[in-house]
Chains A and B, each alone.
Chain A
Amino acid sequence: DSGVTQTPKHLITATGQRVTLRCSPRSGDLSVYWYQQSLDQGLQFLIQYYNGEERAKGNILERFSAQQFPDLHSELNLSSLELGDSALYFCASSGSGTDNEKLFFGSGTQLSVL
């Protein structure tokens, strides 16, 4: 168990809809990362937050947005969903003690857009 919690584990929705994925980082970790992994694809970095502030952006679509709340949990919002958005979305956290640069991943949210 990595200590990172992602909910829900599975999400099935239709094109054009909006969904919210939630991530609770490890206790003490201030940084949260979001990744997208499509079938047989690598991990695509989306965005990073540190202590509530957006710090780095990767290949995140304008239809996607994220935020990190004062209690350090984070949410990834995906809107106007398309079939191609179907993927496994991972959250990772880091930044605690001596583990600053080690990522601890959640078990992911499997999104299916029909």
Chain B
Amino acid sequence: LAKTTQPISMDSYEGQEVNITCSHNNIATNDYITWYQQFPSQGPRFIIQGYKTKVTNEVASLFIPADRKSSTLSLPRVSLSDTAVYYCLVGDARGPIKAAGNKLTFGGGTRVLVKP
């Protein structure tokens, strides 16, 4: 199971771009990289997922280099409402149905504070 390492916290200002890098040196061939956002007292919410290169959706971009040992979540033009904890999670795409199960273990996350 690939372990992930993220910065503990980051501060930013409204309108700026926030980039959070996650290290996952022992990522396996079948592993996908998924990012989640969590607000206080709420369950984490899926943001974006990728396997390699770049993925973009309406809220974020995910950059994954060729060696896949790290990934960077990019939040463009953040607002105060983007203040949250962001988790990087690495897990087998076949995870939920594997006989051995899927210990999807979250790391400590990155606490992002957006200031006015």
- List which A1-26 residues lie within 8 A (CB) of chain B: 2, 4
Binary contact track A58-102/B, C-beta < 8 Å → 1, others 0? 100000000000000000000000000000101010110000111
B92 to chain A, nearest CB (A): 7
Determine if B44 and A43 form an interchain contact, defined as CB atoms under 8 angstroms apart. yes
Total residue contacts A-B, CB cutoff 8 A? 89
Majority secondary structure of chain B interface residues (helix, strand, loop or mixed):
loop
Cα(A95)–Cα(B91), bound, Å? 13
A114 to chain B, nearest CB (A): 19
Please give the number of chain B residues whose Cβ is less than 8 angstroms from any Cβ of chain A in the complex.
Answer: 31
- List which B1-55 residues lie within 8 A (CB) of chain A: 32, 34, 36, 41-46, 49
Q: Does B66 contact A (CB under 8 A)?
A: no
Please give the number of chain A residues whose Cβ is less than 8 angstroms from any Cβ of chain B in the complex.
Answer: 31
Interface residues of A (CB under 8 A from B): 2, 4, 30-31, 33, 35, 42-43, 45, 48, 50, 54-58, 88, 90, 92, 94-95, 100-108, 110
Interface residues of B (CB under 8 A from A): 32, 34, 36, 41-46, 49, 87, 89, 91-109
